[in-house]
Amino acid sequence: MAQPFPYTYYSCDCYDSATLAPTSKRASHPARAEEEDERTFDPRNPRSNYSLYPLEHLLYCEDCRQIRCPRCVSEETLNWFCPSCLFEVPSSMIKSEGNRCTRNCYNCPICTSSMTVSSLEPPKVPTADDTGGLAGPFFLSCPYCHWSTLDIGIEFEKHTGITQQLARIRNGGKVVPTPKEREKERDKKRDAEARDESVAKADELSPEDLNPSEPPPQEELFSNLFAFYKSQLSLAAPSNPFSPHHDINFSSPSSFSRIMNLYSSTSSKKQKKDKPAPMREACSITEGLVPYNPSLDAAAVEALKTHGWSHTLSPTQKLHQTSPNTRFINELRPIPTLLRTKRGKRCRTCRHILSKPESKITSTRYKIKLLGLNHIPRLSVRALSSPIPLPTMAASTGSQGFDYARLSPGLPTHFLLTLSNPLFDPIRITLATPSTTAGKVQSRVTIMCPQFEVGANTDVWDDALSSGLTKRGATASTDPGSGTPQVEAGKIWDRGRNWTSVILEVVPGFLKPIPGFDFGLGGELAKKVDDEHELDEDDDVLEIPVFVRIEYESEVAAEDRAAAGAEHGRAGAAGGKEKREEAFWCVLGVGRIVGGP
């Protein structure tokens, strides 16, 4: 998700740790491990895209003592609901009706905004009797792009139950039988086929079936195929051969093999395993076969000729349609709204629940929520030279603020890196960063004070009561002015109750090599360097990988203490402290480097 500068992303190493484990048996492993230690995190690595998350998206597993990103949690669906009408849909309905809203919620097939039901009746003259004015035919219309179902010739009689009405109307207003009626009809046809095979053959080749004016609608095709395969499955299912409901059919290979299996018990299991019963394919229209129809293609070409390019759909519009064969604007159907889910999350390694929202749709509270930001320090970065711009001002008016999108190359810029500690124990921080950033534009980065302490997250009031006035003064001093402290190596910039800020000096690199300075290379080699220097998109974004290691002493958790006490035979382990340590990579996006001087 695009975030404005400056931003901080946290890296979850779940993928790396998962892939490293299986390779540990290899002979080359020690070398690899060393390499792993030496390697710095590269935010430009394509794989990094998938391991970087903002802090709000991270959870923390208290049992594994590790951050858990969306990749290393497993999700379980609590319930389904329609995002438009906010009604919960029971899971049985999901299985039968699919994951779309079956009420009146539809999205515009052109622009995806939600559609509203309107009346075609012209607004009546205001009268005294309040009938509500809901009369006449209705239609779905898009409030954004003004597409409406009238464009495809569909009107509704009622303003409710749009889904049922829409299922019966083909584009152009032609009424088609509902799925239930269709099913009945299909059953009838099949019965007829079964009764007289020769008649069925003739029926299949009837001119009406062979040359339909338009392809059968997708739902009909699907229901035909679905019914066909269901019948095939029931034939192939290894049910009890002596079951009275099952008529043994020797023409079916599956039932034949089943009967054979009755007599050869030894080979039966093997055979079952390695050879699934072959299934017949659909071979008639009632079974869901679609014969190729050249007239349809001709019609499509003709439509392209007459209506032109604007008559066709864009790929996204096509993808949103439920029927994959939609090609032209007049074939569009309103899209039933996709349902959304409420999901709980579990740690993938230890299966503990990390987050569990309340199951009620309208509730936004959580029963369980183990957040990453309650366990690992928040890193925030901002330019030192400017006061914090008020977010209530438009960017153009607040021009005195620092422009993160225009970092000048070669000019040392100071950033203020603040770490705030959510833990109730003071932590020791060690920061590390590669001195030059990876990628084509090499910027130099120096953390002025890489080792420091951050105070515990104690009660706010302790701080406010003890040093309320001095704190205000301290924050004021960070503003540019006469009292600005000097940037000094090895010293922290400022600190507060549970936060400490240090200075980050960045010399943004040059986007283009300086002309006339070809690194002492020959002309041809310099040209090659030039070619390599062709910038890709977002190569001018300055992202700084920072390795953060935190150390702290914490009260031993009760169960751990009990375990330790049992191990060491100590009874009075109360107040025992435990040294803990955590480390992770972060990426600070500080801005964009401008091209020319």
**Contacts of other proteins in 20-59 (CB under 8 A):** 53-59
Q: Which of 544, 546, 547, 545 is nearest to 590 (CA)?
A: 544
Question: What is the smallest separation between the CB atom of 216 and other proteins, expressed in angstroms?
Answer: 32
Can you tell me which of 134, 248, 395, 583 binds other proteins, judged by CB under 8 A?
395
Element (DSSP H or E) covering residue 583: strand 577-592
Can you tell me which of 20, 64, 94, 371 binds other proteins, judged by CB under 8 A?
371
Determine, following the binding rule CB under 8 A, whether residue 146 of this chain makes contact with other proteins: no
How would DSSP label each residue in 55-80? Answer: GGG-EEETTTTEEE-TTSEEEEEEEE
The residue ranges of DSSP E strands in 353-507, in sequence order, are: 353-357, 366-369, 378-383, 413-420, 427-432, 444-447, 451-454, 494-495, 499-507
Nearer to other proteins, 378 or 580 (CB): 378
Nearer to other proteins, 124 or 528 (CB): 124
Binding segment toward other proteins, per CB under 8 A, in 29-37, 137-145, 166-174, 328-336? 137-145
Pattern 547-576, other proteins, x by CB under 8 A? ------------------------------
Nearer to other proteins, 358 or 560 (CB): 358
Nearer to other proteins, 227 or 339 (CB): 339
Nearer to other proteins, 148 or 501 (CB): 501
Determine, following the binding rule CB under 8 A, whether residue 499 of this chain makes contact with other proteins: yes
What's the one-letter identity of residue 596? G
**Contacts of other proteins in 267-306 (CB under 8 A):** none
Determine, following the binding rule CB under 8 A, whether residue 113 of this chain makes contact with other proteins: yes
Question: What is the smallest separation between the CB atom of 133 and other proteins, expressed in angstroms?
Answer: 6
Can you tell me which of 5, 41, 81, 584 binds other proteins, judged by CB under 8 A?
81
Nearer to other proteins, 239 or 475 (CB): 475
Nearer to other proteins, 143 or 241 (CB): 143
What's the one-letter identity of residue 463? D
559 to each of 482, 563, 568, 582, how far by Cα in Å?
54, 6, 14, 21
Nearer to other proteins, 142 or 236 (CB): 142
* 132: its two tokens: 């509500």
Question: What is the smallest separation between the CB atom of 496 and other proteins, expressed in angstroms?
Answer: 4
Question: What is the smallest separation between the CB atom of 462 and other proteins, expressed in angstroms?
Answer: 11
Question: What is the smallest separation between the CB atom of 391 and other proteins, expressed in angstroms?
Answer: 7
Determine, following the binding rule CB under 8 A, whether residue 129 of this chain makes contact with other proteins: no
What distance in Å separates the CA atoms of residue 362 and residue 151, rounded to the nearest whole number? 36
* 534: its two tokens: 């062709």
Determine, following the binding rule CB under 8 A, whether residue 77 of this chain makes contact with other proteins: no
Can you tell me which of 40, 99, 114, 430 binds other proteins, judged by CB under 8 A?
114
What distance in Å separates the CA atoms of residue 356 and residue 344, rounded to the nearest whole number? 4
Question: What is the smallest separation between the CB atom of 533 and other proteins, expressed in angstroms?
Answer: 33
Task: Report how many residues bind other proteins under the rule CB under 8 A.
Answer: 73
Question: What is the smallest separation between the CB atom of 558 and other proteins, expressed in angstroms?
Answer: 20
What distance in Å separates the CA atoms of residue 347 and residue 365, rounded to the nearest whole number? 20
**Contacts of other proteins in 158-177 (CB under 8 A):** none
Q: How far, rounded to the nearest angstrom, does the alpha carbon of residue 402 sit from its chain's CA centroid?
A: 33
Q: Which of 495, 482, 472 is nearest to 416 (CA)?
A: 495
**Contacts of other proteins in 442-471 (CB under 8 A):** 457, 459-460, 463-464, 471
* 24: its two tokens: 């540990």
Binding segment toward other proteins, per CB under 8 A, in 325-333, 373-381, 444-452, 581-589? 373-381
Question: What is the smallest separation between the CB atom of 108 and other proteins, expressed in angstroms?
Answer: 8
What distance in Å separates the CA atoms of residue 572 and residue 505, rounded to the nearest whole number? 49
**Residue appearing with tokens 């096509």:** 318
Nearer to other proteins, 151 or 463 (CB): 463
How would DSSP label each residue in 163-211? Answer: HHHHHHB-TTS-B---HHHHHHHHHHHHHHHHH-HHHHHHHHT-HHHHS
**Contacts of other proteins in 415-434 (CB under 8 A):** 416, 418, 420-422
Nearer to other proteins, 306 or 364 (CB): 364
Question: What is the smallest separation between the CB atom of 49 and other proteins, expressed in angstroms?
Answer: 15
Task: Please list the alpha-helical segments (H only) found in 25-140.
Answer: 29-38, 91-97
* 141: its two tokens: 């219309």
Q: Which of 70, 90, 72, 64 is nearest to 15 (CA)?
A: 72
Can you tell me which of 67, 382, 556, 591 binds other proteins, judged by CB under 8 A?
382
Which residues are registered as beta bridge partners of 74? 346
Length of the chain: 597
Task: Please list the alpha-helical segments (H only) found in 264-346.
Answer: 265-274, 294-307, 315-320
Q: Which residues lie below 8 Å from residue 512, measured CB to CB, with a gap of 6+?
A: 533, 595
Binding segment toward other proteins, per CB under 8 A, in 41-49, 197-205, 307-315, 374-382? 374-382
Determine, following the binding rule CB under 8 A, whether residue 111 of this chain makes contact with other proteins: yes
Can you tell me which of 21, 25, 28, 125 binds other proteins, judged by CB under 8 A?
125
What distance in Å separates the CA atoms of residue 197 and residue 446, rounded to the nearest whole number? 85
Question: What is the smallest separation between the CB atom of 53 and other proteins, expressed in angstroms?
Answer: 8
**Contacts of other proteins in 1-20 (CB under 8 A):** 1-2
Can you tell me which of 100, 182, 346, 497 binds other proteins, judged by CB under 8 A?
497
Question: What is the smallest separation between the CB atom of 279 and other proteins, expressed in angstroms?
Answer: 40
**Contacts of other proteins in 329-358 (CB under 8 A):** 340, 345, 355
Nearer to other proteins, 372 or 545 (CB): 372
**Contacts of other proteins in 55-74 (CB under 8 A):** 55-59
518 to each of 437, 509, 534, how far by Cα in Å?
21, 16, 15
205 to each of 202, 212, 213, 214, how far by Cα in Å?
5, 12, 15, 17
What distance in Å separates the CA atoms of residue 85 and residue 101, rounded to the nearest whole number? 9
What distance in Å separates the CA atoms of residue 591 and residue 597, rounded to the nearest whole number? 16
